[in-house]
Amino acid sequence: MRIAINQVIILSIIVMATKGCTKTKVHADSDIDGVYVTCSECEEHWREVIQLSKGKFKYWYWTKNMDSAPSKGPATGTFKVSGDWLEFSEGAPKPLLRFTRLKQTRVLITEEGVQTWNAVQKLYPPTGYFVVSGALKDPDKITRPSFVEFNAK
């Protein structure tokens, strides 16, 4: 009987330890959903806007060589969340972006951005997108946060 109790205790410890190792972070749609933009320092050369809502995205992109607004509507598609990573369908800005909070700010960052952040605690274009508050009315008229100000915090 004593051996059986010890075996149950050991098995319970192993199960709890395994659960902790395999646990992935789950985000609510309300955490991830929003409008994300490139930094104000990029505006002279290019601008990007990503709108995420309930597993779907819209993506706008402008460069210095394009008109002030794209002639077609935004690229659209779906995304799924796998841990902290968002995997986008075709047409997205990047196939994979990480959702996280840095300095109390919601951001989407590339793998390169994650590596840079881990090394020097800074973000640089084009590795990240900042969330902006409010509904998206006109993607061409969004006030964009500054990487310089963000990194100086």
Model pLDDT for residues 10-55, shown as the tens digit of each residue: 333 333 332 333 334 555 556 899 999 999 998 888 888 999 999 9
Predicted pLDDT at 27? 59
Number of domains within the chain: 1
Domain hosting 68: range is 25-152
Predicted pLDDT at 114? 94
Residue 123 lies in a domain: yes
Query: One-letter amino acid identity for 147?
Result: F
Residue 8 lies in a domain: no
Residue 1 lies in a domain: no
List, in sequence order, every residue forming a beta bridge with 93; answer none if it has no partner.
none
Exposure on the CB side of residue 137, measured as CA atoms within 13 A: 5
Residue 59 lies in a domain: yes
Query: What span, in angstroms and rounded, lies between the C-alpha atoms of 122 and 61?
Result: 24
Query: At residue 119, what are phi and psi to the nearest 5 degrees?
Result: -80, -45
Q: Cα 143 from chain centroid?
A: 19
Report whether 131 contacts 36 (CB < 8 A).
Answer: yes
Give yes or no for residue 98 having a pLDDT over 70. yes
Tokens of 79: 């995304």
In angstroms and rounded to an integer, the radius of gyration of the C-alpha atoms of the chain is 20
Summary mean pLDDT of the chain = 77
- Of residues 17 and 118, more confidence is placed in 118
Residue 2 lies in a domain: no
Distances (CA, A) of 9 to 12, 14, 16, 116: 5, 9, 11, 43
Query: The domain spanning residue 136 has which CATH number?
Result: 2.40.128
Residue 147 lies in a domain: yes
Residue 7 lies in a domain: no
Residue 20 lies in a domain: no
